[in-house]
Chains A and B, each alone.
Chain A
Amino acid sequence: MFSYQKNDNTNDDIHVFVTNLITSKIGKKTMFIFLLLIMVYSIGFSEVNAYPLENYVGSGTCRKCHETQFNEWNQTAHSRAFTDPVFQTQWQAQGSPDVCLPCHTTNFDETGGDYQFENIGCELCHAPRSEYNEDYTPASCDRCHSVTHYPTYTEWLESEHSHAGVGCDSCHDPMTLEILTNDPNTLCKGCHLSQDIEQVAEEHGYEGYDCLDCHMTTSLVDFESGTNGMTGHTFLPAIPSPDCGECHTVSLDAHTVWGATDENCETCHDDVYMTMLHLLNGTDVAMSESSILCEQCHNDVYYEWSLGIHADSHDATLVCIDCHEPMNPYIMMNKTLPPVTPVSVVIEKPEPFISPTYFFIAIIGALGAAIYAFTVRRK
Chain B
Amino acid sequence: MKESIKRRDFLKIVGIGSVYLVAKNIIPGGAVSTLLKITQTSPTTNSGKRWGMVIDVGACIGCRQCTYGCKEENNIPNIPAPMQWIETFEMEQNEPITRLNSVPSNQSKTSYIESPIHGKWYLPIACLHCDDPPCVKLCPTGATFKSEDGIVEMNYDKCIGCRQCMAGCPYNARSFNWGKPQIPQENVNALVPVRPIGVVEKCTFCQHRVREGLLTKCVEICPVGARHFGDLNDPNSPPSKLLETYISSALLEEMNTKPKLLYITSGKKWFEEEG
**A336 contacts B63, C-beta separation under 8 Å:** yes
- B108 CB → nearest A CB, Å: 8
By CB atoms of chain A within 10 A, which of B81, B87, B270, B273 has the most? B273
- The B66-123 residues at the A interface (CB cut-off 8 A) are 67-69, 71, 81-84, 87, 107-108, 110-115
Q: How far is the CA of A338 from the CA of B112 in the complex (A)?
A: 8
Closest chain-A Cβ to B56's Cβ sits at a distance in Å of 13
Q: A312-B65, A312-B221, A323-B223 are in contact. Are A338 and B275 (CB under 8 A)?
A: no
Of the candidates A309, A334, A341, the one whose C-beta lies within 8 Å of that of B63 is A334
Known: A251-B275, A254-B273, A331-B270. A340 touches B84 (CB 8 A): yes
Contact B112 A339 (CB under 8 A): yes
CB of A318 to closest CB in B, whole Å: 12
- Report the Cα distance A251→B107, complex, angstroms: 36
A343 / chain B contacts, CB cutoff of 8 Å: 107-108, 111
* Interface presence of B62 (CB below 8 A): yes
**Closest beta carbon of chain B to A361's beta carbon, Å:** 37
Main secondary structure of the interface of B (DSSP, over half): loop
B221 engages A311 (CB within 8 Å) = yes
Q: How many A residues touch B, CB cutoff 8 Å?
A: 22
Shortest C-beta distance, A16 to chain B (Å), equals 110
Complexed CA–CA distance, A338 and B82 (Å) = 12
How many pairs of A and B residues are in contact by the CB < 8 Å rule?
71
Min C-beta distance of A344 to chain B, whole Å: 7
Which B110-165 residues have a C-beta within 8 angstroms of A?
A: 110-115
B274 sits at the interface (CB 8 A): yes
Please, how many angstroms separate the alpha-carbon atoms of A337 and B61 in the complex? 11
Q: Which residues from B are CB-within-8-Å of A340? A: 64, 67-68, 71, 82-84, 87
- Name the residue on B nearest A343 (C-beta): B111
Contact, CB under 8 Å: B273 / A331:
yes
In Å, the complex CA distance between A22 and B273 comes to: 116
Q: In the complex the two chains form, what is the Cα distance from A144 to B101 in whole Å?
A: 88
Interface residues of A in 236-254 (CB under 8 A from B): 251, 253-254
In the bound complex, residues from chain A placing their C-beta under 8 Å from that of B224 are 332
- Chain A residue contacts of B110, Cβ below 8 A: 339, 341
- A356 close to B (CB within 8 Å): no
A341 touches B61 (CB 8 A): no
A28 at interface, CB cutoff 8 A: no
B111: which of A312, A323, A331, A339 is its contact (CB, 8 Å)?
Answer: A339
Contact: B273 with A330, CB < 8 Å? yes
The reply to whether the CB of B253 lies closer than 8 angstroms to some CB of chain A is no
Distance in angstroms between the alpha carbons of A342 and B113 in the assembled complex = 11
CA distance A346 to B169 in the complex (A): 28
Check B270 against A336 for contact (C-beta < 8 Å).
no
CB closest residue in chain A, given B222: A311
Task: Tell me, in angstroms, the Cα distance from A310 to B112 when the chains sit together.
Answer: 26
Report the bound CA distance from A309 to B216 in whole Å: 12
Known: A330-B270, A341-B84, A343-B107. A336 touches B114 (CB 8 A): yes
Closest to A341 in B: B82
Give the docked Cα–Cα distance between A289 and B147 (Å).
48
**Is B220 at the interface (CB under 8 A from chain A)?**
yes
Q: Which 7 interchain pairs have the tightest Cβ spacing?
A: A337-B64, A340-B84, A339-B111, A336-B115, A334-B63, A311-B223, A340-B82
Question: Can you list 29 A-B contacts (CB < 8 A)?
Answer: A251-B275, A253-B273, A253-B275, A311-B221, A311-B222, A312-B69, A312-B221, A328-B273, A330-B270, A331-B273, A332-B63, A332-B270, A334-B61, A334-B63, A334-B223, A336-B61, A336-B62, A336-B113, A336-B114, A337-B65, A337-B67, A337-B68, A339-B113, A340-B67, A340-B84, A340-B87, A341-B107, A341-B110, A342-B111
- Given A334-B63, A335-B63, A340-B68, 9 more A-B residue pairs with CB atoms under 8 Å apart are A253-B274, A309-B220, A312-B221, A336-B61, A336-B64, A337-B65, A340-B67, A340-B84, A343-B107
